Chains A and B, each alone.
Chain A
């Protein structure tokens, strides 16, 4: 039995902000059903750019639902710039603390907010879109792992698992997580950013053509071999919207296919800033 605070139980049993917003300005989902928790955050802005209303839909345990509700309590009435500074600790503190093993629920809240903001600004979402997947069981990137290690001064794999779930499944990635812990603590100074090499920018029309070409010649044949298929729905700047068809549409690991295969291929062959979204799936999208 978890030792949940009164506040956690209250927000779980009587969430104030569960629901949907018909035409949200910000909308993002993190996590998925396979992982055991997922959070969709929807935000409506007023004409002065403040968060007028926000709603969540969450699949998960009591602390996941409570964290989602707390997140919205904390961001309502703020501007995006103010909300952006919210950390997972703010959520956990607001709830009167969370059990150590449940800290990942507060991290999920923070992630959802940052992803929604990144999508709104049409920027790639650093914690998901950049970096590489370290934990395949729960789809956690090295970026997120590094972030929590740095912010919470984590020292062990177990702590990283509590905050991100990474390493909580098959344990195959434990050596990699250990390496990241060593790297962060060892060379904190050396992490100072090195400017990435400049690429020659593509024009919109070039990018669209290239995306079409790569999907047709590289990606579709690969998916078709497994009985799946993909359709290009739209290209908006570096945002590429696709829809999975055939077997892919129902595949349990389609998120990995989306990020690990489709996006990786497009980044390799078209533009390293590309973000791919699945708009044909089961979740309603803006």
Chain B
């Protein structure tokens, strides 16, 4: 039986290399990397100094937003990035928003872990502590005393999907997916499924996250996944000498729509979600299963659920974090899942350009992929010098090539593997 189609009809993104989707391609072609000294957190005493952060002030984008959202956005970076992504695209999306029906529209977002930005409140924390008080609850109670349901810090995670739901009049559901580095990839996959299961006709799916905050940045640094600046090592996915990832931040969304909605409203789709694969390692919280059985299964399932053959895949946007654990294993699993074709398909990770946005990694890389499809460009592994494997087509230079079908991989801490199969509908 032929299954219904789920199309991507719009998308928007705030990324360290693109303040809006239209900025992506120029920065990819010119090989821009957002890896720079961090501004928002004082890293003077840290062994690493660099991250990929959105450097521009975003507040001008949402100056017409409600005061409480503006205030919360100044503290909660995840909210700010998402609010900025919405306002960046607001005018362009209005004709689509006018077509939406409340009970047939849902939102689903992948969200990163909460972290009170302690660095903003040094003085308050010090004062509360000197008064013998428990500083964080006192501070949060003080900050959150307002008449709306929007807290200034420590909101329930659904605040993000509810924020977009209000903008898109999305009443069918407002879900949050909390699966670390695959959060937004799963949000897109489950958004696709909810359309196939008739829970909605249109779903706004994506995610938001920021590692550029004192607590997550130090936490990831202590885990040893951010390379030390003194060693001169940068984030170099698939390189023999890779030593860690590039902490990042991003927010974005795609608008997914049923075939019926697209046809009824005479919309030209931009892409199609062909299917996905999603599996658990069930191995160890701190490391992926070295056998790669479940990772391979996720890639195989993305293909089989899409009805695609490996020979049809034109490009793989890899998870490629630049960490010791991920990259070689990912290549091995691609090899197992795609057989001989895996050696021919161009593979690259773009995390050395825009950083690892954790819960927003999937949406950032999907939005980028849609732009690559539009501009018939495959990006190189920008900083690759000594490939960890010679068996694969790890691109060293950007390439002009038509992309009809592509895979985009994401894998999470705790052993979660999610792979999307995407079709270019602009062909």
- The finding on whether chains A and B are genuine partners in a shared complex, rather than unrelated, reads no
